[in-house]
Amino acid sequence: MSSPAVGRVLSNPLRPVILAAAKSNAARRLVTGAPPTRRIVDRFVAGTTRADVLSVAARLLGSGRAVSIDHLGENTLDIGQARATVAEYRELLADLGTLGDITPDTFTGTPAVEVSVKPTALGLSLGPDGPKVALDHAREICAAAEDTGAWVSIDAEDHTVTDDTLGIVRDLRADFPDVGAVVQAYLRRTEGDCRELAGPRSRVRLCKGAYDEPVSVAYRDRAEVDASYLRCLRILMAGDGYPMVASHDPTFVTAVDPLAAYAGRGRTGFEHQMLFGIRDGEQHRLATAGRRVRVYVPYGSQWYGYLMRRLAERPSNLRFFLQSLVSRD
């Protein structure tokens, strides 16, 4: 058991430090070079190869859960790398189509397979033409997903690209109306975004947010973030779209049912989403109870930034990491 001092060290004040380390090359070399790191990566990341993630996806689908697969990578500044990302998603979708009919019963009529795509991995940051490059690349992925029968969600990143990201979602929906948007409750603008996005056929993933944002654009206090999440959840549940409740917090997992009932939604009118490696038992419990549960499954060699954001989110994740670093097991 950790001492009170360790508990304080692992509390929220470390979040900015960890997120700063996510951008540090020195910290990256230290963490990626530590022998125990592999155990941490294996907990939160499905593997580095497509074969790895396909194996994990088949297992999750067979357990009654759906998946949203993310090929890790962001902030691409090379058009060749952006093209390689598109190629990887196209090949991933083709391979997912070979898994067979293992759609969980609770997802009948709803794709159990989705891919999540970050716009900066598709070239959004490539200068003035970046938004068009990312949009064209996203169109390719959406077309491949349509052929496979899968969904696509355009992932959220830091606030500096939110306008461009939601613009890409709007443009894509002209041809691919089921494209999902991802919004982050800690951004002050998100209530307004939820109102705009809550129309018919609109899929919206609501998460708390994982980047280090300034107070001018984001709530920094946990209670304020939680209150914003609940306000946004009410808006989405009252709307005509399909809410995707991305939270491990028992408060919000419990809050979903009464809000859905008040809005006249059945159990198939929304879904829970949780991260691979976090609260696996709760994921099983919800799925066994007939709830729609989708697991966000990342893979690829560019896992460092993703891992650091997971450690920053929850003190228990960081404690697990530090204990692994000093353990000889």
Query: Percent helix, strand and coil across the chain, each rounded to 5?
Result: 55, 15, 35
For residue 5, the model assigns a pLDDT of 34
Please give the pLDDT value at position 3. 35
pLDDT digits (tens, 9 = 90+) for 153-165: 999 999 999 999 9
DSSP 247: -
pLDDT at position 176 = 97
Which two tokens mark 259? 């809000």
Tens-digit pLDDT profile for residues 7-59:
333 334 566 666 665 566 665 666 656 655 667 777 889 999 999 999 999 99
Q: What pLDDT, on a 0 to 100 scale, did the predictor assign at position 1?
A: 35
If you write DSSP's letter for every residue of 199-245 in order, what string do you get?
Answer: STT-EEEEE---S---TTTB--SHHHHHHHHHHHHHHHHHSSSEEEE
Q: Which tens digit of pLDDT belongs to each residue from 59-69? A: 999 999 999 99
Question: Of all residues in the chain, what percent carry a pLDDT higher than 90?
Answer: 67
pLDDT, the chain, mean: 87
pLDDT tens-digit series, residues 62-115: 999 999 999 999 889 999 999 999 999 999 999 999 987 667 888 988 999 999
**C-alpha neighbours within 13 Å on the C-beta side of residue 209:** 26
| Residue 257: active-site member | no
Could you report the per-residue pLDDT of 120-140, keeping only the tens digit for each? 999 999 999 999 999 999 999
3-state secondary structure of 155: coil
Q: Is the pLDDT of residue 182 over 80?
A: yes
Contact 131, 154 (CB under 8 A): no
Determine the Cα–Cα distance for residues 192 and 231; give it in Å rounded to an integer. 11
> Are the C-beta atoms of 89 and 130 separated by less than 8 Å?
no
Question: What is the identity of the amino acid at 239?
Answer: G
Whether 222 has a pLDDT exceeding 70, the answer reads: yes
Alpha-carbon torsion, ordered 319, 321, 327, 329, to 10 deg: 120
Set 173, 205, 291, 309: catalytic member: 205
3-state secondary structure of 245: strand
pLDDT 10s digits, 185-212: 999 999 999 999 999 999 999 999 988 8
Which percentage of the chain shows pLDDT scores above 70?
A: 81
From CA 68, how far away is CA 150, in angstroms rounded? 10
Q: Pick the residue with more confidence: 217 or 5?
A: 217
User: The tokens 């109102």 sit on which residue?
Assistant: 195
What H or E segment, with its residue span, contains residue 64? none
Out of 155, 158, 178, 212, which one is annotated catalytic?
155
pLDDT for position 325: 46
Mean pLDDT of 227-244: 97
User: Among this protein's residues, is 173 annotated catalytic?
Assistant: no
